[in-house]
Amino acid sequence: MKILGIDPGLQRTGYGIIDANGPESMKLIEAGIIKTSAEDGISKRVTDIYENLTDIIKENKPDVLVLEKLYAHYKHPATSILMGHARGVICLACGSNNVRLINYSATRIKKAVTGNGRAGKGQVQGMVRSLLGLKKDPDPVDISDALAMAISYVYIEGTGDKRGVK
């Protein structure tokens, strides 16, 4: 089963694709970031995210896409609004390409991957490296966060008959 994790951001959207038949068989297929320029308008930036993600989906044909639930801190509402733009086009790409979409909270993802729902970025990076048998921590953290989302699906939902769009 191919699982695509996405760490949404308007400037940098991290993505990571793993293949897994269970926790013992997880392997990295591809990971990277989709960058947009702050100098471009919002319509160009969301179009760039949508088009790049659509290419990734068409090329890799994931069975499921895992996305972190939107969290808004009352001190930084603009951040959640900007992330909402990126999340919206990611959801659109899922619908347009018939990919099942799963949303988990950040604490649920961290707990599934590290055993601690309040784990720091470094701890998540280290566990992603260990679980996927990588030589170094995925960098930048947008990539390790995206891979953590994909890995969390294996631990929370498992693999097997979960394929298909809901």
In angstroms, the CA 162 to CA 53 distance is 22
Distance CA 34, CA 13 (A): 5
Q: Catalytic positions, please?
A: 7, 68, 142
